[in-house]
């Protein structure tokens, strides 16, 4: 009988556990006004993309406003950053960015891909 009580307690404790990532408990970024590359997007690209997409590398560079804008307009950057982990072509390859960062890039596109 004790065996069943212990087993029940373990099962209940496992089901009551919650798993959160830092992204899921972070406060969303609130952007007032239009999203611009210099103010909002560059830091996201630098943090998540430059490791593989630096100038002079084998992959398309994403180090300047013009390169990032071109990748968004002509190379399906928006599609690739929205793919789920494990999907072919998903970027960054190390794992999907937080949705808040993806939303910032999406809003930049909606706002007209402003530089400054």
Return averaged pLDDT per consecutive 10 residues of the chain, 116 residues in all. Answer: 61 52 59 93 98 92 98 97 96 96 98 98
- Return contacts of 42-50, CB within 8 angstroms, 24+ apart: 42/68, 44/97, 44/101, 44/104, 44/105, 48/92, 48/97, 48/101, 49/91, 49/92
Q: Is residue 8 part of a domain?
A: no
Structural domain contains residue 13 = no
Would you state the pLDDT for residue 32?
A: 81
Provide the domain limits for residue 85: 26-110
Q: Specify the pLDDT at position 20.
A: 47
The count of structural domains within the chain is 1
Q: What is the pLDDT of residue 9?
A: 58
Q: What is the model's pLDDT at position 17? A: 46
Q: What is the pLDDT of residue 40?
A: 98
Residue 15 falls inside a structural domain: no
49: DSSP letter = T
Q: Residue 11: inside a domain, yes or no?
A: no
Is 4 part of any domain? no
40 occurs within a structural domain: yes
pLDDT of 31: 79
Is residue 5 a part of any domain in this protein?
no
46 found inside a domain: yes
């Amino acid at each position: 009988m004790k065996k069943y009580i212990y087993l029940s307690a373990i099962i209940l404790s496992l089901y009551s556990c919650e798993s959160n990532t830092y992204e899921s408990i972070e406060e969303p970024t609130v952007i007032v006004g239009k999203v611009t590359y210099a103010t909002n997007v560059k830091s996201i690209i630098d943090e998540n993309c430059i490791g593989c997409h630096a100038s002079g590398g084998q992959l398309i560079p994403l180090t300047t406003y013009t390169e990032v804008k071109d990748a968004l307009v002509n190379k399906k950057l928006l599609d690739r950053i929205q793919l789920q982990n494990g999907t072919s072509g998903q970027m960054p390859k190390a794992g999907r960015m937080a949705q808040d960062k993806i939303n910032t890039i999406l809003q930049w596109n909606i706002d007209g891909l402003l530089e400054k």
